[in-house]
Amino acid sequence: MANSYYDPADLRKFGNITEWSEELGKKFFDYYGKVFEEGALSAREKSLIALAVAHVVKCPYCIDAYTKDGLQRGITKEEMMEAVHAGAAIESGATLVHGVMMMNKYNKLSM
């Protein structure tokens, strides 16, 4: 094992997951490739969504990959940071909206 759980060089080996389960691995990569093609959303828009989600799920490999992907597409750092904030806002909103549950419970238990 490497000295850390995450090794940047492992990103290059992502495709190797297919070796231990060819059918599922192949299905996943076919699906993955199809998702990021131009569609009703542009590939550029999908790249920014992927970057935001990468931060929300806190995946270092995905942050590495989609920062680079954004640079390749000419996406500016201001656009990238706004996407990260969009992800962060939903994530913090998801926490805060549970505050209503806390308020409900508090009120129910209080005289």
Chain residues in the site for another protein (CB under 8 A) = 8, 12, 42-44, 68, 71-74, 76
What is the sign, positive or negative, of the torsion defined by CA atoms of 103, 89, 32, 7? negative
Amino acid sitting at position 83: A
Residue closer to another protein, measured from CB, 72 or 95: 72
Which among 53, 62, 79, 46 is positioned nearest to 11, based on CA atoms?
Answer: 62
Residue closer to another protein, measured from CB, 3 or 72: 72
- Shortest Cβ 34–another protein spacing (Å): 17
Residue closer to another protein, measured from CB, 42 or 104: 42
Q: State CA 94 to chain mean position distance.
A: 16
- Shortest Cβ 38–another protein spacing (Å): 9
- Shortest Cβ 42–another protein spacing (Å): 8
> What is residue 40's three-state secondary structure?
coil
